[in-house]
Amino acid sequence: MAESNADTQGVVGLSQAMRRKRPWWYGPKKFIKGKPLGAMGAFIFMTIIFMAITADFISPYDPLKPHPIDRLTAPNSTYWLGTDYLGRDMLSRIIHGARVSLFVGVFTVLAGVGIGASLGLASGYLLGKFDLILQRVVDGFQAFPGIILALVIVTTLGPGLFNSLIAITVILITYTIRITRGHTLTIKENVYVEAAKAIGASHVRIMTRYILPNIAAPIVVLGSIWLAAAVLIEASLSFLGLGAQPPTPSWGRMLSIEGRVYMESAPWLALFPGVAISLVVLGINFLGDAIRDVWDPRLRGAQ
């Protein structure tokens, strides 16, 4: 028996030593090999982040400065993606438009998931009147499709980027509350939660120490997928004139103003912003699916 234990400890020690000796690129290489679409999505997402951060340095022209002589110029060696009806460089405007999409997506997901997960965790654990009232409020919000609810909120508050942030955040909060509550109801029935109650652990400690870590993975996965939804909703609101207001470069706004009016005479005004939106949403969805496959405990056994 002693020899068996020694052999086991030796194997475990050897495995840990090999794990420590792995180079830094071992993890990324394994992810790229196992999830090529996820790696592609990560590359697209990192490219958008790079564009947003370095927009002031990599943009060939000022995105707000018009060049009347060059208005509606087709893509060429000077203006790689052409110019709009005021002569503004489309490439520079698309690069700066990445800031709006990235800011809206990241802010709304962090705020929506953070607030929604906290309320959903408390609702599923405490139950009672708090849960009853909160769930009826959530039911009221979810009675409307997401985009319709966003339109109602922004129309009520007025057009603008800040009000669009509020509308998208409210939508994500309601969905996060419902999903987090469902996971909490399942986790709270486990034996270790009952044991924590038996030894007198406080409600806050039980929720943060024993329940939250076990529901964090699915919430993070959903947040990564909702990032694409937030970008799409912002683009839709801007397309309708309710999101980012001129002269702020916004992909949805470009499709609405320049794209619709000059669709036939200057198709690049609608083509390139549409391609940018599609690539971002596609990349985020690929990355979200890969994160789900890696982190979701229900899918680990199927790999």
Q: Which domains, ranges and CATH numbers included, belong to the chain?
A: 34-58+80-300 (1.10.3720.10)
For 92-106, 155-169, 170-184, 198-212, which range has the lowest pLDDT when averaged over its residues? Answer: 198-212
Contact criterion met (CB below 8 Å) for 253 and 270: no
> Please, what is the average pLDDT of the chain?
84
pTM of the full predicted structure?
Answer: 0.82
Residues in the chain, how many? 303
Using DSSP's 3-state secondary structure scheme, residue 129 falls into: helix
**Alpha helices in 158-211, H assignment, sequence order:** 161-187, 191-198, 203-205
Q: Per-residue pLDDT tens for 197-206?
A: 888 888 888 8
Which H, E and C letters describe 7-76, residue by residue?
HHHHHHHHHHHHHHHCCCCHHHHHHHHHCHHHHHHHHHHHHHHHHHHCHHHHCCCCCCCCCHHHCCCCCC
pLDDT at 202: 83
